[in-house]
Amino acid sequence: MTDRPTMRRGDALLNLIGNTPLVPLYFEAEQRTVWAKCEFLNPSGSIKDRLARTIVLDAEQRGLLHPDSTILECTSGNTGIAFAMVGAARGYKVAIVMSKRASGERRMIIRHFGAELILFDEPGYLAGIEMTRQMAANDSNYFLPCQFENQLNAMDHAHETGPEILKAVPGPIDVFVTGYGTGGTLAGCSKSLKAARKETQIVAMEPSESALLAGEEACCHWIEGIAGGFVPPLLRGVEIDSTCKVSSPEAIEMTLRLNREFGLLVGSSSGANTAAALRQAQELPKDAVVVTILCDRAERYFSTRLFQ
Ligand SMILES: Cc1ncc(COP(=O)(O)O)c(C=O)c1O
């Protein structure tokens, strides 16, 4: 009799998360290379799969998840999709609180995985986060991952995404640039990249219309998944060397270049990150190593400006 590996329900899916490729993108017109971490290749199509996997595994280990539990999270979409996918694979109920302004495709994917969707009217996240807190206060079966303050969010990137980048890049990294939603990616990756080489410059990309770290007011922008109108707690104390503003039209233009010049079907935060990374690369010698993140796939944005 052959031994079968001892696998838990959902392990096969969880093992597909992470270890994404890092690819050099050569921009002919600018004669510069940007190294892009392909997080859109995670199984649900975004960087948020890492967070959903790690928080669920940690909660299981600590005995916080049981058959009657419902994972309850407020999200702009990708975290909801990721938890809905991990919940489906692992056998947990999932309820996602989301602004009505988030794209319909994201809602459809979340429902398709079998999760419950609770919509609220206001833009940003704050009203939704408050709603999840009230629901959990009235029902102990809710498990709140709290992506905006959960240190596992940043730790996961410090222990996995950052080291994966370091392993894949030939030579020292000059600049790492990415935007922030919860700030988990920026906080975690910057920690491991700075620990490996303190000269690596950490650049926070922000929408020009909502450049809070640059000391400006938050306003409306079209870059999906980032800059929810407040500086997230996970960014407190993070070593950020500079910020780089990218306007919404610039982000869309670069996203279309990634789609059409490189064949990478990614969303607008990937375009915004790449626009910021290319700008950094243009200020440095041609062989500089500038790394950024391609956060998610474009198919969840058919109804948004990206496809209009
Ligand atoms: C499309 C997209 N890009 C970027 C981010 C930012 O990632 P983080 O939350 O780690 O700051 C998110 C977060 O939800 C996202 O959905």
Q: Whose CA is nearest to atom 16 of ligand 1?
A: 225
Q: Are residues 72 and 134 in the same domain?
A: yes
Q: Are residues 183 and 216 in the same domain?
A: yes
> Would you state the structure tokens that stand for residue 180, as one six-digit string?
């922030």
Tally Cβ neighbours within 10 Å of residue 97: 22
pLDDT at res. 124 = 67
User: Phi and psi for 120 in degrees, rounded to 5?
Assistant: -125, 160
Q: Are residues 167 and 282 in the same domain?
A: yes
Residue with tokens 């929408």: 207
The alpha carbon of 294 and the centre of ligand 1 are apart by a number of angstroms equal to 10
Tally Cβ neighbours within 10 Å of residue 140: 9
Q: Which of 37, 50, 176, 182 is the pocket-test mutation for ligand 1 (most atoms within 8 Å of CB)?
A: 182
Q: Are residues 175 and 292 in the same domain?
A: yes
Q: Are residues 23 and 167 in the same domain?
A: yes
Answer for the pair 215, 245: CB distance below 8 angstroms, yes or no. no
Q: Residue 289: helix, strand or coil by DSSP?
A: coil
Q: Which domain holds residue 76?
A: 48-143
Q: Is 208 one of the catalytic residues?
A: no
pLDDT tens-digit series, residues 70-123: 999 998 789 999 999 999 999 999 999 998 887 889 999 999 999 999 999 887
Would the pTM count as exceeding 0.85?
Answer: yes
Domains held by the chain: number:
2
In the predicted model, residues of the chain with pLDDT beneath 50 are none
Strands (DSSP E) along 155-199, which ranges? 175-178
Q: Give the CA distances from residue 244 to residues 74, 85, 208, 278, in Å, rounded to whole numbers and listed in that order.
A: 27, 33, 8, 11
The CATH number of residue 181's host domain is 3.40.50.1100
pLDDT at res. 228 = 79
For residues 144 and 130, give the distance between their C-alpha atoms in angstroms, rounded to a whole number.
12
Q: Is 248 one of the catalytic residues?
A: no
Q: How buried is residue 260: exposed, middle or buried, by Cβ count under 10 Å (0-12/13-18/19+)? A: exposed
Residues at CB less than 6 angstroms from ligand 1: 46-48, 76, 78-79, 179-186, 224-226, 267, 269, 295-296
The alpha carbon of 222 and the centre of ligand 1 are apart by a number of angstroms equal to 14
The alpha carbon of 44 and the centre of ligand 1 are apart by a number of angstroms equal to 14
Q: Are residues 76 and 167 in the same domain?
A: no
Ligand 1 atom with least separation from CA of 296: 1
pLDDT at res. 61 = 97
Domain annotation covers residue 149: no
pLDDT at res. 103 = 80
Q: Are residues 219 and 284 in the same domain?
A: yes
* DSSP character string of 113-166: TT-EEEEESSSSSHHHHHHHHHHHHH-TTEE---TTT-HHHHHHIIIIIHHHHH
Q: Are residues 166 and 123 in the same domain?
A: no
